Structure 1
Amino acid sequence: MRIYLSLLFVCITFTSYAQRPNTEMISVSGTIIEEGSNIPLEYATVAFIDASNKIVTGGITDINGTYKIDVAPGVYTVQFEFISYQTKRLTNQRLVKDITLPRVLLSLDASSLDEVVVRAETTEVQVRLDKKIYNIGKDLTASGATVSDALNNVPSVTVDVEGAISLRGNENVRILINGKPSAIAGFGSTDALRQLPAEAIERVEVITSPSARYDAEGTAGIINIILKKEKTLGLNGSFTANYGVPLSSGITANINLRTDKFNIFNTTGVRYSNSPGNAFFDNRYFSRTIIDTATGNPITVDPAFDRSTEKRNYDRLRTGFNTNLGIEYFITDKSSLTASVFARTGDDTTTTTNLTNDYETLDNLAFTRVRIENEDEDEFSYQFSLNYVNKFNDDGHELTVDFQYENDSETEKSFITEQTTFPSIVASPSEDITSIEDQNEYLAAADYVLPIGENAQFEAGYRGTFDQTVTDYTLLEEAGTTGVFIRNDDISNVFTYNENVNALYTQYGNKFGDFSFLLGLRMENTQLKGKVNAEIETTDPNAVPLNFDKNYTGLFPTVNLIYELAEDENITLGYNRRINRPRNWFINPFPSRSSEANIFQGNPDLNPAYASAFDLGYLKRWGRKFTLTTSIYFQNETDAFERIQEDTGQITSNGTPIIRTIPINLSTNKRYGFEAGVLYNPLKWLRLNSSFNFFKFVTEGSFNDIDYGAENTSWFARFSSKVSLPAKIDWQTSAFYRGPNNNSQTVSEGIFIMNLALSKDIMNDNATFAFNVSDLLNSRKRSSVTTTETFTSASEFQWRERQFNLSFTYRFNEKKKRERGQGGNGGDEGEGFEG
């Protein structure tokens, strides 16, 4: 019956007002938190009981665990309740003037502990005005896995075979760690997320309609990963070790020491893995028309080969170390200073073997070549962060100041050898490539929150990010097969890229009865600069300029509305304007060298893309067993990025046409979609989770006089079931399917993935053994066919093969089944106005 108390209190309050029309009211406020953890308890109930044991009035706490209730002067028993917690009472309270009652600590009710277990092990969804929060419970398939793997289990999110993260099928998504851009998420790439353990995640916030407090970056929206930071007093933590086949091993430790004045937290991990992968390309070439430079007349050129196939094998050895060490010092009861250092090292070796067959006709083999690239990559990243929070009072009036410095240094060395093995063995000149990348990024931010009255809130702030990346690329080519290497000055160069963003924002939110709104405006100035130390001479007619200096100022309005139809039912409507800036690998002009005939090259001439998005959502809960979330969304993006393949008009030394993949700006990209998610717990031992996303893209635009307009309708769905068996054994199965999709050139087949996991608790529930199989059917492969006027290209790519993994976790001074994931922002930004 407690879940109906808030509605009852509303009725009682109106009745009380009617009975006391001339009585002057007083205000009683306070805070309710969980004993031992200091986690605020949202939706806890407060009741004022008179001498006749009748509830006079009452209310519920907000997200910060605070309440403020008007009551007539008198003597009351004040009762505090929360589901599954022991009730507390303050008796004989003489309340005659505005007062703040002492902080109330509620502890778990042992008789309700089983009920808490069910809740903690279930993925929950909380809806805010500007985001959905997924409190990921005991996800067995993520045991011993990485953050990247865990994201693939979050509704609306997909991770493709190369690790690219998409939100609702759109890769233009911003990844934040604890609300801020971070070296943990990688500098313009998500490679680091493949190394960090999934056990480090506390919750994931999917923000499809970001408020003005967030960066405007990412046209699809924002995925905010909140890392764990234990709130329990004393020393506590956990250790996890895992071993997998193909070789994947690691050890992770989470340790936390908390006292009344400070909190020290550390997550450290070591990983060692050997991840095999493979790819296959089948290119078929047709006659093409070119312009004779002497006469100016068109002529037809037949290809040297009708067909070329490539079979690639990737052998990746990954070793890495990462640590995140921080200390939070509580200056006063309302202010704190947090300093943290994150560091990551990587020593990776990759051997790519490329077997190429060239055919004069479709089945007449002319040449067989073997190209081997041995790549060594040394990487070191570190990040230093300072966070200051000053809460002026318990009503949400606060100032937050952040400073962050990041550095990422990466040295990549590749040695490429090639030889023809048919019809005779002939060695080709080798290549020695060195790429040194150094990136520095500074972040400074300040956010101010001012509550106005009981329900309104004003916010304002500033954020500046200043980023410079220097890439020193050197190509040494062997003179014949003499062993003497000569620098290729036409390709070797130093490329410097600067991205500076200054932003100001303000927003205002209020609540009127069941209706809440949050209106915001953000202004961002972006400066993008690229410079090559010397202009590269080229005869390529499709070459793009390498030096640029661009400056953009944009306004980004946001509107978020929510209407509470009932206590467990609401409708949300959001609008926002976003920007997508080209990342480093999209603008780096140096082509890949793993293949002579199939290359990827960045485009320094890329401009930012802008998008306006609308989102209409609905949420309904039926008790604690069934939750339904749905959304209808639309996005209109201009200058949208699109990766295309084109014939460069150049050929290799063997006469094979060179096919280039390059990102370009298209004119518009309209996206329509619908998504639905269901959380269903029909029985105490059975928990089901499923989601479905259907979308349509309509693209319009041309490049080099070729029309790349297209329509693409696709969908993806996921399903997960978890069964609690006897003897404390849990069994989880998850499945994911992404339907076929296409753009103007390429049609990609659907992908089906199934994962399986088992776990057993031992040692009085302080330890857990888990076994899981990732990609049970070994079907996580990207298969596609690209068709143009001069060639067709069929390809299949598998980044990582089926994985078997065994893990062991030991916890000390931790309550395994009570990870609530709510309350406390863990250092994340943008909690903002909740309504």
Structure 2
Amino acid sequence: MSKQLLFLLLTLGLWSGLTEIRTTYAQFGPPGGGPGGPPGMGQDDRRKKTEFTGTTEDAPKGNGKITGLLVDSTSGKPVEFATIALINTKTNKPIDGTTSDAKGNFSMTKLAPGNYRLQYSFIGYKNKDSQAFTIDKGTVLNMGSVKLPADIRTLNEVVVTGQAALIEEKVDRLVFNADKDMTSKGGDASDVLKRVPMLSVDLDGNVSLRGSQNIRVLINNKPSTIVASSVADALKQIPADMIKTVEVITSPSAKYDAEGAAGIINIVTKKITLHGLTLNVDAGAGLRASNLGLNGSYRQGKLGISLGGFGRAMYNRASSTLDQTTLVGTQQQRTSQQTTAFDKPVFGQYTLGFDYDLAKNQSLSANVRYGTRNFVQQQQQFTNTYSGNASSLDSLLSMTNRDVDRKDLSNSVDMNLDYVRTFKPQQEWSISTQYSRTGLTNNFYADLLGQTGELLGRQQNLNNNTNKELTFQTDYQTPIKKNQLLEFGGKAIMRQVDSRYQYLIGSSTGSLLNDPNNLPGSLAYSQNIGAGYISYTYVTPSKFTFKVGTRYEHTGITANQVTEQSTSKPLNIPSYSNLVPSVNVSKSLKGGTTLKAGYNRRIQRPGLQQLNPNVNAANPQMIMVGNPNLSPELTDNVELSMSSTIKKTYINAALFGRLTNNAITQIRIPSDSIAGAIITTYQNIGVQRTVGANIFFNTSITSKWSVNGGLDSYYVYMQGLTQGADGKSITISNTGVSLGGRLMSQLQMNKGWSAQLFSFFRGPSPQLQGTMGSFYMYSLGVRKDLASKRGSIGLAAENFVGNGVIMRTTLNTPVLSQVNVNHLYNSNLKLTFTYRIGKMTFEDKPRKSRSVSNDDVKGEGDGGGQQQQAAPAGGRPK
């Protein structure tokens, strides 16, 4: 069968019902946690699970046994961790008890003969009593499936207080509960991700997972074209106050798109799951940023509507110095540059969504999200260039003075429509569609000044880009017996990237004209992907969980570049097909210890910034240009991890390895036309091998004081091609070790007061041609809850000692060396305020949701893309 025919069949399979499954490990027994408890459960939680806390009589011992299953009377789903009390019918007092496990199952053993009844209770459900029964010697009684009805009441106010762990581990992911983090309030998603184990965020907002930026970032399981354009830009549009959890998936199964070499990051925002009309206000004011957010929702009967808006304005100073030496033939050129900058970015995000229950087992949902980013920066660049030999660089070639106005503007729209039908518990079919479009403008205007400040000339670069995606996806899952799950599905993605660029120059007066050395051009890049997968999960009686699967993807590419003199140049980029297997195994041991192992193969396709052929010379000494001829990279991942709870301390440790072929990375080469300038572009360098380890802990020193933290480290070997002294390509390599870590402490005090301390650092990171510098941050915050916990007011300080953060980056090749020092004056003091208005009642059943998720595009820096979130234990993606 030809590749083209196979691609067509995969695409047509979407319309005929080919489907994907959302895995629910919780149905198959304790996945990754110890016996009788979900993974990541603390010691106090385990005690609640295994001990009945009511007042009991001394229970006589025998050999009777009772078993059963608790399910929701409406949805049929298991009710986890409900209380089951054994009542003596004569005294009407409880003499024994237990709780249901993650599958809703319960059992009581060693029961003495007697007359009893069972009482079932759980928050949000009505208490239910069984009929009286008799236990004789050796009786084994199965109560069958017990349906608990929802407790629907109208309340003037609902106050729910919980102390969920800040960090939880599930069978397929690590979960960071961001809503427990107070120092990031008033910030954006990048501020939250700095606190998540295994993640690192640099000063520009680029995210790395275990040392790799080849990741996929999702928002509520959904991709966005603005993430494909720039992960850093997308994170700045998401307010920290609206983030509920951050999920890190390091070993995705076959149901996920094959994109994203290192893993998936899914950002789950807060959703209101109650009836009624509500309005939430989030506001903050600080030395570096101010924000205002309004979010409202309405739900009644079968219909739910939500509407929200958020805006953030920032202001910050920065400076940098650049000292580089370039070999030109037998002569050397030295460039010294000093830059000062003032940033004035403004971000906004607006959402509208609705969901509607078509029938008891069918639901329809739709969402529209609009995001905007206006990043305006004013720069002053003073540059001196010298020439000479290796012993003397004292001949001044040039002095330049530039005032530069940079504008990085973007707007994005994501629209999705999703349908879910449930046939029976864990058997469902879904159809998901999504259209996503991002417009990106990356312009600069420069005044070229003389030594005394007089205007000598002007320069302007116009670069407009669009990125469009249309996705169709269908998924199906069905249980096989009680301990197996089969999933399969299909997807088609149609993607279009367009870039148009133009350089204009002029004297101190008159109109700007096309630059004859940089003629206008454009790039049209189309990518069509057809995919299908199958996945199988099996849980053994000995608590082994096996999840195996494979995914096939075919990618077709057509690209056309218009260059000088309006000449159209087709780019010969061949289509390619990939078979990507995945294997995940977990084992629950006694004492709450869990072992996990995983293997998967991933693809990383180039993103918009890597493909964009526009020559960005806002700083002519550090020119950026993309490479439309990039091909995807392939990565094989292995991982072994162990987690355990020792008294009040939860510990997780992992070893991992990655082997990447055809790796996409940044390459620096000297400019042929500008003295001392360096051009940064992207190439498929060859090979990259990474091995590393990470460990983190979460402990409760007291019931109100907790501490958590961790260390991440990795060793990397990179090999690729660069330019030698004779202008020919040569093979170079580099190795290095990187170390990072974080520490957080939280304290709950009396009268609604709480405090939090956070610190983070990342050591030097090796690159193919040098080393990226280290940096750190720290923050301290206090918060006071208002009356009835309807709101809060807080004060937080960040990097408040010293004069900001300094990051030093070095670059060394056979023909150039560079030292770049960035100084960010990011000390900050901020005041935050939140308040909730409205009346809510409990919803009678959980909402159903499905969504498209594309995870295949690489972002800025050395990495970028990956996709869809795994289903949370116990249910669908939320």
Bucket of the pairwise TM-score, normalised by the shorter protein: 0.7 to 0.9
Matched residues in 2 for 1:549 and 1:379: separation?
28
**Alpha-carbon distance in 2 for matches of 1:823, 1:700:** 49
Distance 2:786 2:294 in 1: 19
Q: Report deviation, 1:677.
A: 0.9
1:315 partnered with 2:342: yes
Correspondent of 1:386 among 417, 437, 440? 417
In 2, Cα distance between equivalents of 1:632 and 1:798:
34
- Give the match's secondary structure for 1:331: strand
The partner residue of 1:470 within 495, 498, 501 is: 498
Per the alignment, residue 577 of structure 1 pairs with: 601
Report the Cα distance in structure 1 between the residues aligned to 2:108 and 2:71, rounded to whole angstroms.
Answer: 12
CA displacement, residues 29-48 of structure 1 (integer Å, 9 cap, x when unaligned): 522899xxx99853435567
Distance 2:873 2:831 in 1: 43
- Whether the aligned pair in 1 keeps the contact of 2:519 and 2:563 (CA below 8 Å) is no
Aligned-residue offset at 1:774: 2.7
CA distance in structure 1 between the aligned counterparts of 2:294 and 2:228, rounded to whole angstroms? 21
Q: Does 1:191 pair with 2:191? A: no
Of 670, 673, 692, which aligns to 1:651? Answer: 673
Cα pair distance change 1:7/1:239, threshold 3 Å:
closer
Answer yes or no: is the 8 Å Cα contact 1:599–1:658 preserved in 2: yes
CA contact (8 A) 2:319 2:339 kept: yes
2:290 to 244, 249, 262: 249
Contact kept in structure 2, 1:79 and 1:87, CA below 8 Å:
no
Report how far residue 3 of structure 1 moved.
4.2
> Alpha-carbon deviations, 1:436-466, whole Å to 9, x = none?
2122111111111101111211111112222
Instruction: Say if 1:413 and 1:124 are closer, same or farther in 2 by CA, change over 3 A.
Output: closer
1:218 Cα shift? 0.8
Change (3 A) 1:814 1:149: farther
1:45-69 Cα shifts (integer Å, max 9, x gaps): 5567796999999873437xx5598
User: Matches of 1:50 and 1:5 in 2, distance apart?
Assistant: 22
Cα distance change of structure 1 residues 328 and 67 upon mapping to structure 2, 3 Å threshold: farther
* 1:438 partnered with 2:481: no
1:221-260 deviation per Cα after TM superposition (whole angstroms, max 9, x unaligned): 00011122111222234211111113x2211122222233
Q: Sequence identity of aligned pairs in percent? A: 24
Q: Which residue of 2 aligns with 1:151?
A: 193
Look up the match of 2:660.
637
Q: Deviations over 1:6-27 (max 9, x none)?
A: 7799xxxxxx99979xxxx997
Q: Given the superposition, is the C-alpha separation of residues 472 and 70 from structure 1 closer, same or farther in structure 2, using an over 3 Å criterion?
A: farther
Query: 1-side partners of 2:839 and 2:588: how far apart?
Result: 36
Match of 1:345 among 367, 372, 378: 372
Q: 1:46 to 1:529 in 2, by over 3 A?
A: farther
1:584-733 residue pairs with structure 2 within 5 A? Answer: 584-622=608-646, 625-648=648-671, 650-652=672-674, 656-704=675-723, 705-733=729-757
Query: Residues 418 and 50 (structure 1 numbering): CA distance in 2 closer, same or farther, change over 3 Å?
Result: same
> Aligned partners of 1:18 and 1:606: how far apart in 2?
69
After superposition, give the CA deviation of every residue in 1:771-827 in whole Å (9 maximum; x if it has no partner). Answer: 222333454333111122332211022466222221111123589xx9xxx998786
The alignment partner of 2:273 has SS state of coil
1:370 to 395, 401, 410: 401
In the TM superposition, 1:788-827 aligns within 5 A as 788-798=813-823, 801-813=826-838
The aligned counterpart of 1:80 is 120
Once the two structures are superposed, the pairs formed by residues 9-28 of structure 1 within 5 Å of their partners are: none
Q: Using a 3 Å threshold, how does the CA distance of structure 1 residues 59 and 688 change in structure 2: closer, same or farther?
A: closer
Tell whether the 8 Å contact from 1:226 to 1:826 is kept in structure 2 after alignment: no
- Give 3-state SS (helix, strand or coil) of 1:709's partner: strand
Aligned to 2:525: 497
Other-structure match for 2:174: 132
How far 1:646 sits from its partner (Å)?
Answer: 1.5
Return 5+ residue gaps in structure 2 as ranges: 1-43, 53-60, 135-140, 724-728, 852-867
Maintained 8 Å contact 1:503/1:522: yes
Aligned pairs for 1:156-555 within 5 A: 156-183=198-225, 185=227, 187-246=229-288, 248-286=289-327, 288-289=328-329, 300=330, 302-303=331-332, 306-360=333-387, 362=393, 367-393=398-424, 395-421=425-451, 427-478=455-506, 483-488=511-516, 490-513=518-541, 514-534=543-563, 547-555=571-579
2:785 matches 1:785: no
SS of equivalent to 2:643: strand
Shift of 1:184: 6.5
Amino acid at match of 1:197: P
Secondary structure of the residue aligned to 2:788 is coil
Task: Report matched runs for 1:54-93 at 5 Å.
Answer: 60-62=100-102, 66-67=104-105, 77-80=117-120, 88-92=127-131
Which SS does the other structure have where 1:355 is aligned?
strand
8 A contact 2:502–2:514 mirrored in 1: no
Which segments of 5 or more consecutive residues in structure 1 lack a partner in the other structure?
A: 10-15, 290-299, 539-544
Q: Tell which has more relative contact order, 1 or 2 (C-alpha 8 A, sep 6+).
A: 2
Q: Are the counterparts in 1 of residues 598 and 640 from structure 2 also a CA contact under 8 Å?
A: yes
The structure 2 residue matched to 1:103, chosen from 130, 137, 148, is 148
Range with greater deviation from structure 2 (591-600 or 257-266): 257-266
Residues 667/410 of structure 1: CA separation in 2 closer, same or farther (3 Å cut)? closer
CA distance 1:374–1:812, shift in 2 (3 Å): same
- The residue aligned with 1:296 is none
What letter corresponds to residue 697 of structure 1 in structure 2? V
Question: In the aligned structure 2, how far is the partner of 1:119 from the partner of 1:452?
Answer: 36
Residue 541 (structure 1) aligns with: none
CA deviation map 1:538-564 (0-9, x unaligned) = 9xxxxxx98233311101111111111
CA distance in 2 between partners of 1:2 and 1:190 (Å): 37
Structure 1 pair 482–812 and aligned structure 2 pair: CA distance change class (3 A) = closer
Contact 2:484 2:539 in 1 (8 A): yes
- Using the TM superposition, give the Cα deviation of residue 764 of structure 1 relative to its aligned residue in structure 2, in angstroms: 3.3
- SS of 2:234's partner is helix
2:432 alignment partner AA: D
CA separation of 1:604 and 1:411: change in aligned 2, threshold 3 A: closer
Counterpart of 1:645, as a letter, is R
Offset at 1:117? 4.2
